[in-house]
């Protein structure tokens, strides 16, 4: 069965392509490589031992998407394609509304004429803002978004919900990811370091290997166990498997809309992550404390009861596994050609 992956050459999409093949599906990737590189496709092929169908195209290109859909006739879609840097979205909001909202609408206009049985959307725990209760579950209130990026996820969920309410042969699954980290255990795919990373783990591994002078930990006086921010870090392979579970269930359901948190259900502080890195890499990390960063939620982790219960999905990897695989990926990166970062700090 063919499954269309928009943004399938990206961090989460590439791991999901592997997981789909391992589960007998046939992924078709559409990616314009704005935040990825063609070598990722080659490396997926190395992992799975077969050729991957992919198209280099902006998913906002209606004619192009229509041609691909008619040719490939997928039964499901997993929609990853979006810009994802929170800070950049504050500086350049129109880029985010254009890509994450307008291109989504263009894409839906095309799939409106097709029979897509199961549609899975990459949403985010950013939709919860600062939650009233932790662990946060799916019925928690959606708070005003801190950033244009966060707002595009809220709007995306709403647009898709309204769209799929009118379809009686398709199902929609909204997956709210917590903090995806790690890399494929082979070290062949992972998060590409394009630009200065705004996420903790790529920053740690880059500081570890010497691409960055040091890591700054933003804030040490939060009301958490060690004063640093707490997040729910989920291994990208576990997250990829959650997509397969959601897609499969969606193919069986008709006419329904479901929302699931995808997290481990456990919180880890920034210092926990640093310690895990130091343990697996057997080296100390050069870090210092800085002031709090505007917009950072002090503490959030998931209530993952629903996805475990309804999709029989369980995270398998530990925090140390995540750091071990991310570190392997970082050490492997010099073998690959990618858009290099312009700025060092």
Ligand X SMILES: NC(=O)c1ccc[n+]([C@@H]2O[C@H](COP(=O)([O-])OP(=O)(O)OC[C@H]3O[C@@H](n4cnc5c(N)ncnc54)[C@H](O)[C@@H]3O)[C@@H](O)[C@H]2O)c1
The contact set with ligand X (CB under 6 A) reads 7, 9-13, 31-36, 58-60, 80-82, 84, 99, 103, 122, 124, 177, 180, 199
Decide whether 58 or 92 has the Cβ nearer to ligand X. 58
Decide whether 227 or 306 has the Cβ nearer to ligand X. 306
Decide whether 39 or 220 has the Cβ nearer to ligand X. 39
Q: Closest distance between ligand X and the C-beta of residue 299, in Å? A: 17
Decide whether 60 or 250 has the Cβ nearer to ligand X. 60
Q: How many residues does the chain have?
A: 345
- The string over 85-113, giving b where at least 16 C-beta atoms fall within 10 Å of a residue's C-beta and e elsewhere, is bbebbeeeeeebbebbbebbeebbebbee
Q: Closest distance between ligand X and the C-beta of residue 243, in Å? A: 10
Whether 238 and 318 have beta carbons less than 8 Å apart is answered as no
DSSP string, 190-215: -----SS--SHHHHHHHHHHTSSS-E
Active-site option among 55, 149, 177, 301? 149
Supply φ then ψ for residue 100, to 5 degrees: -80, -20
Decide whether 176 or 266 has the Cβ nearer to ligand X. 176
Residue nearest to ligand X (CB): 10
Q: What gap in Å lies between CA 124 and CA 177, rounded to an integer?
A: 5
> Which long-range contacts does 200-204 make (Cβ < 8 Å, 24+ apart)?
200/231, 200/270, 200/273, 201/233, 201/273, 201/277, 201/322, 201/323, 201/326, 202/326, 202/330, 204/273, 204/274, 204/277, 204/285, 204/323, 204/326
Decide whether 80 or 128 has the Cβ nearer to ligand X. 80
Q: Closest distance between ligand X and the C-beta of residue 284, in Å? A: 26
Q: Closest distance between ligand X and the C-beta of residue 294, in Å? A: 19
Q: Give catalytic status of residue 55 as yes or no.
A: no
Q: What gap in Å lies between CA 247 and CA 78, rounded to an integer?
A: 8
Decide whether 38 or 185 has the Cβ nearer to ligand X. 38
Q: What gap in Å lies between CA 278 and CA 210, rounded to an integer?
A: 14
Residue in this structure with the two tokens 């269309």, named with its chain if needed: 4
DSSP string, 121-173: EEEEGGGG-S-SSSSB-TTSPPPPPSSHHHHHHHHHHHHHHHHHHT-SS-EEE
Q: Closest distance between ligand X and the C-beta of residue 55, in Å? A: 9
Q: Closest distance between ligand X and the C-beta of residue 168, in Å? A: 27
Q: Closest distance between ligand X and the C-beta of residue 56, in Å? A: 8
If DSSP codes are grouped into helix, strand and coil, which group holds residue 220? coil
Whether 15 and 189 have beta carbons less than 8 Å apart is answered as yes
Catalytic residues: 149
């Amino acid at each position: 069965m063919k499954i269309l992956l928009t943004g399938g050459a990206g961090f989460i999409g590439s791991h999901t392509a592997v997981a789909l093949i391992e589960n007998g599906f046939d992924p078709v990737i559409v990616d314009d490589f704005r935040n990825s590189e063609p070598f990722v496709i080659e490396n997926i092929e190395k992992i799975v031992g077969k050729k991957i169908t992919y198209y280099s195209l902006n998913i906002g290109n209606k004619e192009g998407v229509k041609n691909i859909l008619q040719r490939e006739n997928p039964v499901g879609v997993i929609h990853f394609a979006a810009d994802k840097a929170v800070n950049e979205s504050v500086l350049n909001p129109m880029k985010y509304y254009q890509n994450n909202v307008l291109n989504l609408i263009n894409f839906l206009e095309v799939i409106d004429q097709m029979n897509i049985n199961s549609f899975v959307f990459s949403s985010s725990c950013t939709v919860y803002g600062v939650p009233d209760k932790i662990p946060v579950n799916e019925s928690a209130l959606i708070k005003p978004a801190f950033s244009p990026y966060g707002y595009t996820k809220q709007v995306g969920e709403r647009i898709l919900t309204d769209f799929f309410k009118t379809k009686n042969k398709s199902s929609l699954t909204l997956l709210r990811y917590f903090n995806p980290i790690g890399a494929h255990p082979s070290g062949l795919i992972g998060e590409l370091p394009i630009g200065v990373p705004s996420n903790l783990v790529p920053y740690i591994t880059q500081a570890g290997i010497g691409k960055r002078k040091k890591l700054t930990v933003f804030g040490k006086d939060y009301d958490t166990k060690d004063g640093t921010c707490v997040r729910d870090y989920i291994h990208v392979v576990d997250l990829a498997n959650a997509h397969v579970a959601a897609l499969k269930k969606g193919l069986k359901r008709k006419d329904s809309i479901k929302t699931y948190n995808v997290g481990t259900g456990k919180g880890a502080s920034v210092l926990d992550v640093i310690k895990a890195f130091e343990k697996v890499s057997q080296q100390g990390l050069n870090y210092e404390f800085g002031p709090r960063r505007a917009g950072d939620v002090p503490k959030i982790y998931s209530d993952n009861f629903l996805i475990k219960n309804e999709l029989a999905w369980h995270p398998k990897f530990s925090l140390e596994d995540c750091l071990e695989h991310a570190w392997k990926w970082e050490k492997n990166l010099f073998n690959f050609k990618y858009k290099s970062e312009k700025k060092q700090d």
